[in-house]
Amino acid sequence: MEETNNNKLIELINQMKEEKTLELQNKVISEVLKSRFMCPVILEDAPKGGGKVNINKDTKIQLCIIKTTDGKNYLIAFTSDKEVNKWQKQQKQQSLIYTFEDYAMVTTKNANLDGFIIDPKGCNLVFTKEMINEIKNGITTESVVEKDTEIEIGIPKDYPEELVNKLKDLFSNIPAIKKAYLQLMVKDNVMSYLVIIDSDGNEKEYYNTIASASLPFLNGMPLNLAALDNEFGKKAVENFEPFYIKE
């Protein structure tokens, strides 16, 4: 099984428990979005005492859950083998590597699941289905600006280098995207990142992919995506240089 290293996440969670600030909360969420967890499962034909199992499309996988005293059902996200052993001491636990996106997909599609818990016998950090939806809805996949709406556009003071580098890597694998611009937008007193895409006209086809790739690097900041081929997009990039140009 692949290695997981979530030391930074545990450090941030411990800091957040000592100092409950919005900044630390956003940092924890951002790190959770980047992390890889061990999700305990029961696999068909798994060898006793653990070991490698070949998984194919016909393999039956049963996800392990925790039922809380209030009747809620949660998946489990372990950050390390140490945390796995706190929960299951009798035998080596079979696990799959899951990301936040994996947990979000499974919980939102299953009415009987209420979210997931990180290290139930450790930090015991709960992400409810409502929290998961709020995090995913932090991204607006298309910026809609009504006529005469006042907005301010500028360059972020704290430039999001990680986000920009991630988007550059992503766009290099999408031939349709020719250029991209990143700005800070203030609309109705709400601050967000604005990414404007210059493409072959099918940019909306990639909005969900861009949104998912950006999510771990937003640090709680909303993201708006817009096309260059309209009045708003053209006006927004005036006097700005693109951060990405297709080579």
More confident residue, 3 or 110: 110
Give the per-residue pLDDT at 230: 83
What is the structure's pLDDT at 149? Answer: 61
pLDDT given for residue 44 in this prediction: 67
**For position 2, what pLDDT does the model report?**
54
Kindly report the pTM of this predicted structure: 0.64
pLDDT above 70: residue 3: no
Express each pLDDT in 9-51 by its tens digit. 999 999 998 988 777 887 888 889 889 999 998 876 655 555 4
**Spatial distance between the Cα atoms of 245 and 177, rounded to a whole number of angstroms:** 9
Q: What is the pLDDT of residues 133-174, one digit of tens each?
A: 878 766 555 555 555 567 889 998 889 999 999 999 999 999
Residues facing residue 226 across a β-bridge: 196
Query: Residue 224: pLDDT band by 50, 70, 90 thresholds?
Result: confident
Categorize the per-residue pLDDT at 179 as very low, low, confident or very high, splitting at 50, 70 and 90: very high
Which residue segments constitute the domains of the chain, with CATH numbers given? 7-136 (no CATH), 140-245 (3.30.300)
What HEC string does the chain produce?
CCCCCCHHHHHHHHHHHHCCCHHHHHHHHHHHHHCCEEEEEEECCCCCCCCCCCCCCCCCEEECEEECCCCCEEEEEECCHHHHHHHCCCCCCCEEEECHHHHHHHHHHCCCCCEEEECCCCCCEEEEHHHHHHHHCCEECCCCCCCCCCEEEECCCCCCHHHHHHHHHHHCCCCCEEEEEEEEEEECCEEEEEEEEEECCCHHHHHHHHHHHHHHHCCCCCEEEEECCCHHHHHHCCCCCCCEECC
Q: What is the pLDDT of residues 66-112, one digit of tens each?
A: 999 999 999 999 999 999 988 875 556 688 899 998 999 999 899 99
Q: Summarize pLDDT for 183-219 with one digit per residue, the tens.
A: 999 887 888 899 999 998 776 778 878 887 888 888 7
Q: Which pLDDT belongs to residue 25?
A: 82
pLDDT > 50? residue 1: no
pLDDT exceeds 60 at position 52: no
